[in-house]
Structure 1
Amino acid sequence: MYKKMFLLLCLMLEIGMAYSSGWTYGRKEHGVDHWGEEYEECSHQRQSPIDFNSEEMIPKDEVALRFLNYNQIPNDVKILNNGHTVKLEFNVSQPLYMYGGGLWTAYKLAQIHLHWGHDDSSGSEHTVNGKTYPVEIHFVHFKARFTDLTAALADPEPDTLAVLGVFGELSKDDNMKLAPMINSLEQVKNKVGTNLKIKPFPASNFFPKDLSRFYRYEGSLTTPACNEIVMWTVAQKAIPISESQLDALRSLREEHGDALVDNYRPVQPINGRKILNVSTYNIESVSGASQVYSSVLITCALSLAFNKLF
């Protein structure tokens, strides 16, 4: 009896502490300026996002960045308004992998989420020579040798996660590839914490037309606890998104009914890190051995991912 009451009291205290230490994007007590007070790593030296300054970047050539199974139609797609962003999870028959492009192993997709501003002058987390985009999409991947994201985070390394960032730039017309997500936002507008299934669409719908050039650096998660375990890849080409589609994102609400906007962290100091300006090339365009090359590269990447040498 007393043991059960004690455990219940501990649980209530834990819930209370979790609530009181909740973080926000604002400037108040738990806002971005105070994250480091409650989450120590948010004050460390390899934080994200950053500004990609042309004068500070190092040119680098790499073999092409590759994506496996990204064009498949998922069994279902779940959308969630978690009060900080809108998140998408893809239930697929074949896992979605990212590899190549200078990554030393294969990474499996966990989820996609977005960051945006209250108007077109802000929204992206990363900036390019000080330029801000109205939206930034993050593809969160973890090392494929782990069963899931939770297992990966339990055994962290500097490159445990590989996040692909894609900017969205304002266009006159709607981007119809974004329509399945945009059209579903009304369903989660005021439903914080509720997972809903929406019309399936391939994760590649969020890709820009060209992924041959990107920025690369070692950094962190851009939300608490700001773990410095991310190998960042940020595409240089953006995808189009219309004003009405951006307005649909801005119509989302936080837990207490306030507008869910400006959910981006300001850029952080580089602190001497190497920031790469990467141009990629296709080996098959030189050798003419496309199928052989792709097969070998996939085998190597997945073998490294699962620690199996052949």
Structure 2
Amino acid sequence: MQSQGALLVVSLYMVAVAFGESDSTWNYIRSDAMFGPSAWGMNFPECALDRNSPIDIVTEDAVRQEAQRWTLTGWDSPTTWTVYDKNYTMEFGLNAAGSIRTSGGDLGNYDMIQFHFHWGSSNTAGGEHTLNGAEFPLEVHFVHKRSDFATIGAAVESEEDDALAAVGFFFTIQAEDNVELNTMLAGVNAARNTGTFETSGFNLNALDDFTGDAINGNFYRYYGGLTTPGCNQIVKWTVFETPIGISAAQMTTLRSGTPNSYGTEYYRPVQAVGSRLVVLYDTNYQPFRRGGRRRPNRGGRRNRNRNRNRNGRRNRFNRNRFNRNRFNRNRFNRNRFNRNRFGQ
């Protein structure tokens, strides 16, 4: 078991504390065999276990359930954040603890702590999860602690598999700017233009404006871990299916940070799903009958049976009464009958 100090170091990335900018124990450089993603499991043991994140989400392998209604407290109100440029991400830490709560969606009750982004060097990849093998240029993670924990540190130390919740959204490139992202991008620029690489008291519009219609769509759920070392397997993941739009110009703004030792591809490669269950919460879900068959159209089936039976009986009646050779042969054509009556 990791010591309390080690657990807190692991959690700092996730809780919007300005730490780790000069960390040299890991990076995103694929060719680095000592500290790159392929080496994380050697340097951080949990990064080599069987419930790591991100994963490739395969729709046909997911178990479908009816989507549950979300309760998003504070998502519809302007809020104040501290913005951190951490070189490998831009992180927005919520200033007023407990002011945004996410529940419903078959999730439980969670308090938001921060959100951050993952991107790459081009518009072809950068999001961490993939969907049916498809990659996205950007992914945002809204990180929460379970509401019954007093602090994020207590949640991490619990080592419970649902101590944290991460709610993720993909982005896709569109021709025009997404105006709902402009305020967030202004915060990115503000943090990068300070000597401390952070700015406090930054106001954002409502988060549900940020996410748009994506939050009303299908979503996937599975149990996994942090996507940075030490990969603590304490995260209940929710990933929405519908992407948010962003322009190529807006992506350039997000990528415009200074070169650093973490590389340029700020996302972890997908990890094996293994035996884990992935659930698809489907907004168009239709219940199935036992045995996997959809409920039939009773009226249609009844009408088809009625027509089939009526026509079938009529055919059998006609055949038996008038067309069968046995009937005609016995009554009128049998030689014995003719011979007995007229031939002797």
Scaled to the shorter chain, the TM-score interval is: 0.7 to 0.9
1:221-279, CA deviations, whole angstroms, 9 ceiling, x for partnerless residues?
100000111111001111111111100111112545x8x63100001001111111112
2:54 counterpart residue number: 49
Q: Which runs of 5+ in 2 are unaligned?
A: 1-20, 285-344
In 1, the alpha carbon distance for the partners of 2:116 and 2:59 equals 27
* Shift in alpha-carbon separation, 1:261–1:203, aligned structure 2, 3 A: farther
- From 92, 99, 103, the counterpart of 1:99: 103
1:213 counterpart residue number: 218
In 1, the alpha carbon distance for the partners of 2:177 and 2:22 equals 39
- From 120, 133, 136, the counterpart of 2:136: 133
In 1, the alpha carbon distance for the partners of 2:195 and 2:181 equals 21
In 2, the alpha carbon distance for the partners of 1:94 and 1:44 equals 32
* Shift in alpha-carbon separation, 1:192–1:213, aligned structure 2, 3 A: farther
1:39-77, CA deviations, whole angstroms, 9 ceiling, x for partnerless residues?
000000011101111231111124212211111112x22
* Shift in alpha-carbon separation, 1:265–1:183, aligned structure 2, 3 A: same
2:69 counterpart residue number: 64
1:17-46, CA deviations, whole angstroms, 9 ceiling, x for partnerless residues?
x97752100121211010011100000001
Alignment of 1:235-250 (within 5 A): 235-250=240-255
1:288-307, CA deviations, whole angstroms, 9 ceiling, x for partnerless residues?
xxxxxxxxxxxxxxxxxxxx
Task: Give the secondary structure class of the aligned counterpart of 2:28.
Answer: coil
- From 102, 109, 112, the counterpart of 1:109: 112
Farther off after superposition, 247-256 or 137-146: 247-256
Count of residues paired in the alignment:
261
Q: Which amino acid aligns with 2:150?
A: T
Query: Percent identical across equivalent pairs?
Result: 32
Task: Give the secondary structure class of the aligned counterpart of 1:152.
Answer: helix
* Shift in alpha-carbon separation, 1:141–1:25, aligned structure 2, 3 A: same
Q: Which amino acid aligns with 1:90?
A: L
Alignment of 1:1-310 (within 5 A): 22-27=25-30, 28=32, 29-74=34-79, 76-92=80-96, 95-103=99-107, 105-189=108-192, 194-197=197-200, 198-211=202-215, 212-255=217-260, 261-280=264-283
Deviation at 1:94, TM superposition (A): 5.9
What TM-score do you get using the length of structure 1 for normalisation? 0.78
In 1, the alpha carbon distance for the partners of 2:259 and 2:164 equals 27
1:300 counterpart residue number: none
* Shift in alpha-carbon separation, 1:135–1:210, aligned structure 2, 3 A: closer
Q: Which amino acid aligns with 1:77?
A: W
In 2, the alpha carbon distance for the partners of 1:128 and 1:177 equals 24
In 1, the alpha carbon distance for the partners of 2:213 and 2:186 equals 22
Deviation at 1:203, TM superposition (A): 2.7
Q: Which runs of 5+ in 1 are unaligned?
A: 1-17, 282-310
> More helix per residue: 1 or 2?
2
Q: Which amino acid aligns with 1:234?
A: V
In 1, the alpha carbon distance for the partners of 2:212 and 2:24 equals 37
Q: Which amino acid aligns with 2:213?
A: K
Deviation at 1:199, TM superposition (A): 3.6
In 2, the alpha carbon distance for the partners of 1:241 and 1:25 equals 24
**Structure whose CA Rg is larger:** 2
What TM-score do you get using the length of structure 2 for normalisation? 0.71
Task: Give the secondary structure class of the aligned counterpart of 2:212.
Answer: coil
* Shift in alpha-carbon separation, 1:278–1:19, aligned structure 2, 3 A: same
Q: Which amino acid aligns with 2:170?
A: F
